Chain A
Amino acid sequence: KNEVEQSPQNLTAQEGEFITINCSYSVGISALHWLQQHPGGGIVSLFMLSSGKKKHGRLIATINIQEKHSSLHITASHPRDSAVYICALKAAGNKLTFGGGTRVLVKP
């Protein structure tokens, strides 16, 4: 079993829809990252969470440490949100363990 599992693997939404991506993990962590990878390959760090909830624009990330679960929500989705969203765990030594990613396609 992988240390970090993301669901769904692929998601297609219509513009304006609310999107949720889930990340479950099985190990102790110091923080969890949500990353966005665009088709060209570049990666942007969206959030770093160790507890609770963070919001940036239309993006919301939550984490439940006890349940070892995090979610990334996109409100009022837009075609430019189309990307691969990756959950990554930060354990000892600052190294990251990555989930397999969720490919999101938002259609106009």
Chain B
Amino acid sequence: SQTIHQWPATLVQPVGSPLSLECTVEGTSNPNLYWYRQAAGRGLQLLFYSVGIGQISSEVPQNLSASRPQDRQFILSSKKLLLSDSGFYLCARSEGAYGYTFGSGTRLTVV
């Protein structure tokens, strides 16, 4: 099973508050992991990807950061949320022939 667990499903946070979204994966070890964001009415945008523990690549400059403290754990964080951070956040994994598997997503509303 290449299951991805992502939580919470929805989150409402005030501007300036911190954020931590967690994604854990099952299945084979050392998967490539990704954080994507979908702003309202727009397509998916890659935020971060990781090819291994402690290895994070950022695709766009932003108010967010990512960490991979364990092989199967990928965390998206912010110290101070902005209104523009609102959106739908998806964790995903890829492994060769398995293709892509997506988590169920977190809908974040910053108020």
Interface residue A42 (Cβ < 8 Å from any Cβ of B): yes
Does B34 sit within 8 A of A, measured CB to CB?
yes
Given the interface pairs A33-B99, A43-B90, A45-B99, the reply to whether A95 lies near B46 with Cβ below 8 Å is yes
Hey, which chain B residues are within 8 Å of A93, CB to CB? 49
CB neighbors of B among A60-95 (8 A): 86, 88, 93-95
Q: Is A45 touching B32 in the complex (CB atoms < 8 A)?
A: no
Which of the residues B34, B45, B46, B100 comes within 8 Å of A45, measured between beta carbons?
B100
In the complex, how many angstroms separate the beta carbon of B44 from the nearest chain A beta carbon?
4
Query: Which residue of A has the minimal Cβ distance to B96?
Result: A94
Q: Are B44 and A98 in contact (CB under 8 A)?
A: yes
- Chain A-chain B contacts (Cβ-Cβ < 8 Å), number: 47
Decide if A48 touches B34 in the complex (CB within 8 Å).
no
> Of B32, B46, B88, B100, which contacts A41 at CB under 8 A?
B88
A29 → chain B, closest Cβ, in Å? 13
Instruction: Report how far A79 CA is from B65 CA in the complex, Å.
Output: 39
Q: How far is the CB of A93 from chain B (nearest CB, A)?
A: 8
**Is there contact, CB below 8 Å, between B43 and A98?**
yes
The answer on a CB contact under 8 Å between A48 and B90 is: no
Please tell me if the beta carbons of B49 and A45 are within 8 angstroms of each other in the complex: no
Is B109 at the interface (CB under 8 A from chain A)? no
Contact call B100/A33, Cβ cutoff below 8 A: yes
Q: B104 — which chain A residues lie within 8 A by C-beta?
A: 40-42
Contacts A33-B100, A48-B100 given; does A41 touch B44 at CB 8 Å: no
Shortest Cβ distance from residue B45 to the other chain A in the assembled complex, whole angstroms: 8
The interface residues of chain A lying within 8 Å CB-to-CB of B44 are 86, 88, 96, 98
* B109 nearest CB across to chain A (Å): 13
- Could you mark each residue 43-76 of chain B with 1 if its beta carbon is under 8 Å from any beta carbon of chain A, else 0? 1111001000000000100000000000000000
A residues apposed to B, CB below 8 Å: 31, 33, 35, 40-45, 48, 86, 88, 93-96, 98-101
Q: Which 5 A-B pairs rank lowest in CB-CB distance, beginning with the nearest?
A: A48-B99, A43-B102, A98-B44, A41-B105, A94-B94
